A and B are shown apart, each in its own frame.
Chain A
Amino acid sequence: MSKPLGSFPGGLKLNGHKKRSTQSPIRKTPLAKTLILPLQQHIGAAAVPIVEVGDKVLKGQRIARAEGHVSVCLHAPSSGTIKAIDEQAIPHPSGLNAPCITIETDGEDQWLERQPVKNFRDMSAHEIRQIIRDAGIVGLGGAGFPSFIKLNPGVHHDVETLLLNGAECEPYITCDDMLLRERAEGILDGVEIMQHALRARNVILAIEDNKPEGVSAMELALAARPQLQNTSIMVIPTRYPTGGEKQLIQVVTGKQVPSNGLPIDIGIVSHNMGTAYAVGRAINHGEPLISRIVTVTGTDVTHAGNFETLFGTPISELLAFAETKRQPDEPFILGGPMMGFNLSGDNLPVTKTANCILVGVDDAAPASEPLPCIRCGDCATACPASLLPQQLYWHSRAKDFDQTRDYNLFDCIECGCCDYVCPSKIPLVSYFRFAKTEIMNQEREHQKSDLARERFETRLARLEREKQEKEERQRQRKAALAASKAKKEKQEQAAAEADTTATENKEN
Chain B
Amino acid sequence: MGIFRISPPFLAGANRVTLQMLQVLLAMIPAVFAMVYFFGPAVLINITLALAVALASEAVMLKIRKRPVKPFITDGSAAVTAILLAVAIPPLAPWWLTTIGVMFAIVFAKHLYGGLGYNPFNPAMVGYVLLLVSFPLEMTTWLPVISLSENPVDFMSAFQLIFHGETSSGLAMDTVSGATPLDAMKTQIGQQILPEYIVNQNLFGIFGGLGWEWINVWFAVGGLYLIYRRVINWHVPLAMLATIFVFSSITAIFAPETTGSPLFHLVSGGTMIGAFFIATDPVSGSTTVKGRIVFGAGVGALTYIIRIWGGYPDGVAFAVLLMNMAVPLIDYYTQPKVYGAVK
* A171 pairs with B11, CB closer than 8 A: yes
Q: Is A122 an interface residue (CB 8 A)?
A: no
Q: Is B1 an interface residue (CB 8 A)?
A: yes
Give A386 to B282 CA distance when docked, in angstroms.
19
Chain B residues, CB < 8 A from A258: 340, 342
A window 14-55: CB within 8 A of B: 14
Q: Answer whether A380 and B7 are a contact pair too, CB < 8 Å, given A331-B2, A363-B12, A423-B19.
A: no
Chain A residues, CB < 8 A from B336: 380, 386-388
The contact of A337 among B2, B8, B71, B117, by CB within 8 Å, is B8
- Rounded to whole Å, the gap between the CB of A496 and the closest CB of chain B is 87
Chain A residues, CB < 8 A from B9: 337-339, 365, 416, 419-420, 429
* A427 pairs with B7, CB closer than 8 A: yes
Most buried by A among B75, B116, B338: B338
Chain B residues, CB < 8 A from A427: 5, 7
Interface size on A, residues (CB 8 A): 68
The contact of B13 among A332, A374, A421, by CB within 8 Å, is A421
Q: Is B66 an interface residue (CB 8 A)?
A: no
* B20 pairs with A376, CB closer than 8 A: yes
B window 47-104: CB within 8 A of A: 68, 71-72, 75, 77
Can you identify 20 A-B contacts, CB atoms within 8 angstroms? A14-B11, A331-B2, A340-B10, A342-B8, A342-B10, A364-B2, A364-B3, A364-B4, A364-B11, A365-B5, A369-B68, A371-B72, A375-B117, A375-B282, A376-B287, A377-B292, A385-B339, A414-B8, A421-B13, A430-B7
Q: Is A350 an interface residue (CB 8 A)?
A: no
Chain A residues, CB < 8 A from B335: 388, 407
Chain A residues, CB < 8 A from B148: none
Give A416 to B266 CA distance when docked, in angstroms.
41
Q: Is A408 an interface residue (CB 8 A)?
A: yes
Give A374 to B118 CA distance when docked, in angstroms.
8
Chain B residues, CB < 8 A from A386: 336-339
- Rounded to whole Å, the gap between the CB of B115 and the closest CB of chain A is 7
> Would you give the 0/1 interface string for A330-362, flagging 1 where the beta carbon is closer than 8 Å to chain B?
111101011111100000000000000000111
Closest chain B residue, CB of each to CB of A362: B1
Q: Is A484 an interface residue (CB 8 A)?
A: no
Q: Is A299 an interface residue (CB 8 A)?
A: yes
Give A367 to B7 CA distance when docked, in angstroms.
10
Most buried by A among B2, B10, B118: B10
The contact of A384 among B1, B6, B339, B341, by CB within 8 Å, is B339
Chain B residues, CB < 8 A from A361: 1, 3, 10-11
Give A364 to B2 CA distance when docked, in angstroms.
7
Give A258 to B341 CA distance when docked, in angstroms.
6
Q: Is B206 an interface residue (CB 8 A)?
A: no
* A371 pairs with B1, CB closer than 8 A: no
Q: Answer whether A373 and B117 are a contact pair too, CB < 8 Å, given A341-B8, A365-B5.
A: yes
Q: Is A184 an interface residue (CB 8 A)?
A: no
Q: Answer whether A423 and B20 are a contact pair too, CB < 8 Å, given A330-B2, A371-B75, A374-B282.
A: yes
Give A37 to B160 CA distance when docked, in angstroms.
83
Give A331 to B233 CA distance when docked, in angstroms.
38
3 cross-chain pairs, A with B, having the tightest CB-CB distances, nearest first: A372-B117, A416-B9, A365-B12
Chain A residues, CB < 8 A from B115: 372
Closest chain A residue, CB of each to CB of B4: A367
Q: Is A209 an interface residue (CB 8 A)?
A: no
Give A367 to B1 CA distance when docked, in angstroms.
13
> Would you give the 0/1 interface string for B110-130, flagging 1 where the beta carbon is closer than 8 Å to chain A?
000011111000000000000
> Would you give the 0/1 interface string for B24-35, flagging 1 where the beta carbon is closer than 8 Å to chain A?
000000000000
* A337 pairs with B11, CB closer than 8 A: yes
The contact of A259 among B287, B288, B342, by CB within 8 Å, is B342
Give A479 to B252 CA distance when docked, in angstroms.
98
Give A372 to B14 CA distance when docked, in angstroms.
17
Closest chain B residue, CB of each to CB of A385: B339
Chain A residues, CB < 8 A from B19: 423
* A372 pairs with B118, CB closer than 8 A: yes
Q: Is B283 an interface residue (CB 8 A)?
A: yes
Chain B residues, CB < 8 A from A12: 13
Q: Is B191 an interface residue (CB 8 A)?
A: no
Q: Answer whether A333 and B288 are a contact pair too, CB < 8 Å, given A376-B20, A386-B338, A423-B19.
A: no
Q: Answer whether A411 and B12 are a contact pair too, CB < 8 Å, given A342-B3, A365-B4.
A: no
The contact of A372 among B7, B20, B116, by CB within 8 Å, is B116
The contact of A340 among B8, B68, B282, B340, by CB within 8 Å, is B8
Closest chain A residue, CB of each to CB of B68: A369
Interface SS majority for chain A: loop
Give A380 to B337 CA distance when docked, in angstroms.
12
Closest chain B residue, CB of each to CB of A255: B340
Most buried by B among A363, A366, A375, A386: A375
* A333 pairs with B10, CB closer than 8 A: yes
Chain A residues, CB < 8 A from B340: 246, 256-261, 411
Q: Is B331 an interface residue (CB 8 A)?
A: yes
- Rounded to whole Å, the gap between the CB of B255 and the closest CB of chain A is 38
Give A260 to B342 CA distance when docked, in angstroms.
9
Q: Is A291 an interface residue (CB 8 A)?
A: no
> Would you give the 0/1 interface string for A182-211, flagging 1 where the beta carbon is closer than 8 Å to chain B?
000000000000000000000000000000
Give A256 to B115 CA distance when docked, in angstroms.
41
- Rounded to whole Å, the gap between the CB of B289 and the closest CB of chain A is 8
* A338 pairs with B11, CB closer than 8 A: yes
> Would you give the 0/1 interface string for B216-250, flagging 1 where the beta carbon is closer than 8 Å to chain A?
00000000000000000100000000000000000
Give A448 to B50 CA distance when docked, in angstroms.
60
Give A261 to B340 CA distance when docked, in angstroms.
8
* A364 pairs with B1, CB closer than 8 A: yes
Q: Is A218 an interface residue (CB 8 A)?
A: no
Q: Is A425 an interface residue (CB 8 A)?
A: yes
Give A12 to B11 CA distance when docked, in angstroms.
12
Q: Is B175 an interface residue (CB 8 A)?
A: no
Chain B residues, CB < 8 A from A363: 11-14
Chain A residues, CB < 8 A from B117: 371-375, 424
* A425 pairs with B16, CB closer than 8 A: yes
A window 371-412: CB within 8 A of B: 371-378, 380, 384-388, 390-391, 407-408, 411
Give A377 to B334 CA distance when docked, in angstroms.
13
**Can you add 8 more A-B contacts, CB < 8 Å, to A12-B13, A387-B338?**
A14-B11, A256-B339, A342-B8, A360-B1, A363-B12, A375-B117, A414-B8, A420-B12
Chain B residues, CB < 8 A from A246: 339-340
- Rounded to whole Å, the gap between the CB of A307 and the closest CB of chain B is 21
A window 233-259: CB within 8 A of B: 246, 250, 256-259
Chain B residues, CB < 8 A from A364: 1-5, 10-12
* A369 pairs with B71, CB closer than 8 A: yes
Give A340 to B11 CA distance when docked, in angstroms.
11
Chain A residues, CB < 8 A from B13: 12, 363, 420-421
Give A369 to B9 CA distance when docked, in angstroms.
16
Chain B residues, CB < 8 A from A387: 336, 338
Chain A residues, CB < 8 A from B12: 363-366, 419-420, 425
Give A363 to B16 CA distance when docked, in angstroms.
13
Q: Is A8 an interface residue (CB 8 A)?
A: yes
Chain A residues, CB < 8 A from B16: 423, 425
Give A8 to B339 CA distance when docked, in angstroms.
9
